[in-house]
Amino acid sequence: MRLESSLLREPGERALPREMVERLVRSPGRPRAEYRPRVRSAADVDRLRRHRVPAFLLTSEWVTRWGYAVRFQPWLAVPETLARKFSSEFRVLPVKDEEALRNPGLSELVAFLLRFDPLAARLVAKRNRRRIDPNELYRRIRNEGLERAATKVRLQEFVPALPKVGPSLPRDELRWIERNNPSASEAA
């Protein structure tokens, strides 16, 4: 196993003196330079998607459109295998299933939210109960290995086939959270 790291110059910084920079020796048959995608804006993500790079910018506006009014800094969702290869202004959300990033919908949103805000994932699933495909959500949760997070917020109510892994929050606590979090239409 080999540890790889890179130095990136911040905007406004000067380059390091030449004596502090070591030129890497390339292996025969390898490209001369390794490239690292730099993502600083939503337009950069769109540009990557046009070049068929599986990347998706998870924004609070997208979550709000699905009925849960929330504000958070955007997350750059990228395949787990490429997560360390991106230089980004956004927080990186590694995703195991690359296909989830091609054309994400409601099931993918719930799976993404389970990684960093399981209660939001439950509220989105509950508010879109009629639109959600339990088989697709089951597949997404299992592919990402999020059964424990799903059990914690009792997503088995929406996906009955999902196995229970670990403890769940009490039903009374979940009801209180649901009552005290306005939907997007109530928050507007």
* Domain limits, the chain: 37-181
pLDDT value at residue 90: 92
pLDDT value at residue 162: 92
Order the strands of the 91-95 sheet from edge to edge.
56-58, 75-79, 91-95
Model's pTM, two decimal places?
A: 0.76
pLDDT value at residue 2: 45
Residue bearing tokens 């994400």: 104
Closest CA to 67 of 112, 137, 140, 126: 126
pLDDT tens digits in sequence order for the chain, 188 residues long? 443 444 455 566 565 445 334 454 566 776 555 557 778 889 888 888 888 888 899 999 999 999 888 889 999 999 888 888 778 889 999 999 888 898 999 999 999 999 999 999 999 999 999 999 999 999 999 999 999 999 999 999 999 999 999 999 899 998 898 888 766 555 44
pLDDT value at residue 188: 46
Give the integer Cα–Cα distance in Å for 121 and 41.
Answer: 25
pLDDT value at residue 30: 64
Closest CA to 165 of 144, 179, 185, 181: 144
Give the integer Cα–Cα distance in Å for 83 and 92.
Answer: 7
Biggest alpha carbon distance in the chain?
64
pLDDT value at residue 13: 58
Paired with 75 in beta bridges are 58, 91
pLDDT value at residue 83: 84
pLDDT value at residue 96: 92
- Secondary structure, 3-state, 90-122: CEEEEECCHHHHCCCCHHHHHHHHHHHCHHHHH
pLDDT value at residue 18: 55
